[in-house]
């Protein structure tokens, strides 16, 4: 593996700013993974682990000005957006610290022997233990929340798993700065700095997922890149879990009654959602099923007016800009596809938002129009105009898995009249989060959140956002007939750690 320089690049100009590092060699990847593996024991104490996570959040907040400036220079996402994302990242770290202290994630279950059961039950004690070193692949579009200190890293550390991060090439300088903050936080609590490794380079990413001491991986990115790593993880001599977020169309259904009731509001809401962050959110609505009649015309008119008022913006890098322009051009060339507001190139370094319309019947059978059922990363959406409910159903039946699916209902439909419940039932198999009368952009960090969905949205049934994201990095183990003196403290009858648990069938808190 030849070492190549890693540059920080300004997406506003496409010019290199500074050399940040060099691409990691196979030996350097091995060194980082082994250092992380050696740090496992330092994460065993949950009190230390929680304190580490809180110190990491404190350190990120203390370095806010420097981090936001570095992030904006490499992503052009703007100080307001980045400041909010950093705050979300710090909140997430502290939320996982709370989860670690509470201990319910250990899922402690104890059964005393019962000779009257059929078959008899021996003494069984179950809880969850960390998998080992986790490889994290940073995302381009969330340089804080899905990167070095993002949800995958925070949840893995909370589970007791050291992490080696493969930095995203769109923000290498920021990645180095954030890694230093986390390592300083680790050192404050006697944890080796190797608990958080960082490597750069495409080949380093491949070496990472193949390393025998890597126990699991988390990825956010493209279908192509994620699938290649997923296959590599499955093809190892010892396969490992690969939790990948790959791609999502995030369909929206607007019923005829909803359009008749509030077409203008729905059109304006869609414009705000699809152009948020220059259309670079993983939950951007990319396909909208809207009625073909007069109410649908009002919706399209509102969307046209709102999108026309949105200024051109900078995408995360020029490769994405080129792919966006080419992808839009390919879609516009299809017969029956119109562009009321044509998306594409803005200035030399920006793109202009827009949307396309197409009769929904063109999407009901396999063919050239399948291109419109694929994600196009950037500020564009496709509005498919349906003539009747059966046409909309036929399109939905052809969609792959998604992170989200949304329906806009009228007041009466939301109250239980009409097809509201039916449509929800049709959308549920398609996505991990189903919304009613809202927009999918904006993923709350909450206990009940699920950010995942059927393939290709994700490669597992887990979430990468919210408290249950910790479950990805744990495995259950049961001790049978083990003497109390030999048991982990978590599984002893007297419950010295005060953990919530299920004891002989009864939930104890």
Which residues are the active-site residues?
A: 245, 282
What is the DSSP code string of 300-336? HHHHHHHHHTSPPB--SSHHHHHHHHHHHHHHHTSTT
Instruction: Assign 215 to helix, strand or coil.
Output: strand
Instruction: Record the tokens describing residue 239, joined without a space.
Output: 């396969």
- Residue 143's nearest CA partner among 183, 162, 170, 165 is 170
The residue with tokens 């230093």 is 180
Phi, psi (degrees; rounded to nearest 5) at 358 = -155, 145
Residue 404 β-bridge partners:
433
C-beta separation of 403 from 245 below 8 A: yes
CA atoms within 13 A on the CB side of 162: 26
d(CA 111, CA 118): 14
- Residue 187's nearest CA partner among 176, 195, 198, 178 is 195
CA atoms within 13 A on the CB side of 449: 18
Q: How many CB atoms lie within 10 A of CB 121?
A: 14
* DSSP 8-state class, residue 312: P
CA 344 to chain centre: 26
d(CA 337, CA 334): 6
* DSSP 8-state class, residue 34: H
- Residue 9's nearest CA partner among 22, 20, 25 is 20
b/e burial code for range 81-99 (CB count within 10 A of at least 16 → b): ebbebbbbbbebbbbbbeb
Longest Cα–Cα distance in the chain: 78
C-beta separation of 356 from 382 below 8 A: yes
- Residue 77's nearest CA partner among 142, 13, 146 is 142
Within the chain, how many helices (H) and strands (E) appear?
Answer: 14, 21
Stretch (H or E) spanning 199? strand 196-199
What is the DSSP code string of 380-437? EEEEEEESSHHHHHHHHTT---EEEEEEE--HHHHTT-TTHHHHHHHHGGGEEEEEES
d(CA 398, CA 20): 45
């Amino acid at each position: 593996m030849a070492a190549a320089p890693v540059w920080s690049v300004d997406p506003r100009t496409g010019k290199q700013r500074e050399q940040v590092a060099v691409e990691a060699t196979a030996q350097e990847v091995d060194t980082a993974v082994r250092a992380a593996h050696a740090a496992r024991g330092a994460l065993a104490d949950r009190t230390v682990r929680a304190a580490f996570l809180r110190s990491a959040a404190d350190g990120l907040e203390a370095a806010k000005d420097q981090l936001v400036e570095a992030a904006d220079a490499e992503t052009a996402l703007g100080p307001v957006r980045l400041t909010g994302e950093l705050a979300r990242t710090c909140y997430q770290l502290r939320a996982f610290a709370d989860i670690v202290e509470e201990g319910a994630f250990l899922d402690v279950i104890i059964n005393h022997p019962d000779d009257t059961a059929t078959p008899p039950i021996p003494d069984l004690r179950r809880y969850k233990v960390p998998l080992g070193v986790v490889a994290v692949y940073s995302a381009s579009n969330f340089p804080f929340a899905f990167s070095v200190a993002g949800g995958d890293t925070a949840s893995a550390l909370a589970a007791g798993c050291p992490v080696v991060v493969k930095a995203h090439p769109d923000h290498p300088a920021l990645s180095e700065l954030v890694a230093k903050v986390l390592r300083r936080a680790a050192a404050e609590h006697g944890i080796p700095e190797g608990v958080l490794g960082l490597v750069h380079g495409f080949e380093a990413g491949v070496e990472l997922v193949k390393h025998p001491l890597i126990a699991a991986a988390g990825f956010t990115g493209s279908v192509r890149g994620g699938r290649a790593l997923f296959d590599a993880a499955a093809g190892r001599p010892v396969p490992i879990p690969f939790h990948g977020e790959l791609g999502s169309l995030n369909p929206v259904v607007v019923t005829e009654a909803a359009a008749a009731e509030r077409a203008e509001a729905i059109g304006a809401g869609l414009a705000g959602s699809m152009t948020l962050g220059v259309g670079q959110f993983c939950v951007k609505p990319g396909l909208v099923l809207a009625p073909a009649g007069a109410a649908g015309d009002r919706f399209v008119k509102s969307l046209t007016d709102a999108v026309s008022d949105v200024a051109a913006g900078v995408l995360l890098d020029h490769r994405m800009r080129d792919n966006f322009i080419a992808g839009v051009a390919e879609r516009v060339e299809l017969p029956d596809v119109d562009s009321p507001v044509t998306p594409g190139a803005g200035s030399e370094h920006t793109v202009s938002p827009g949307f396309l319309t197409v009769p929904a019947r063109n999407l009901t059978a396999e063919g050239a129009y399948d291109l419109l059922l694929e994600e196009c990363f950037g500020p564009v959406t496709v509005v498919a105009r349906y003539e009747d409910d059966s046409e909309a159903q036929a399109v939905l039946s052809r969609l792959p898995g998604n992170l989200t699916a949304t329906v806009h209902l009228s007041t009466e439909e939301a109250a239980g009249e009409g097809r509201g419940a039916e449509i929800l039932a049709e959308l549920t198999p398609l996505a991990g989060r189903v919304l009613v009368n809202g927009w999918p952009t904006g993923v709350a960090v909450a206990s009940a959140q699920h950010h995942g969905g059927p393939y290709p949205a994700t490669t597992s049934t887990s979430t990468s956002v919210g408290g249950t994201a910790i479950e990805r990095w744990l495995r259950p183990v049961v001790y049978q007939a083990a003497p109390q003196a030999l048991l982990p403290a978590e599984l002893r009858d007297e419950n010295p750690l005060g953990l919530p648990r299920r004891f002989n069938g009864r939930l104890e808190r």
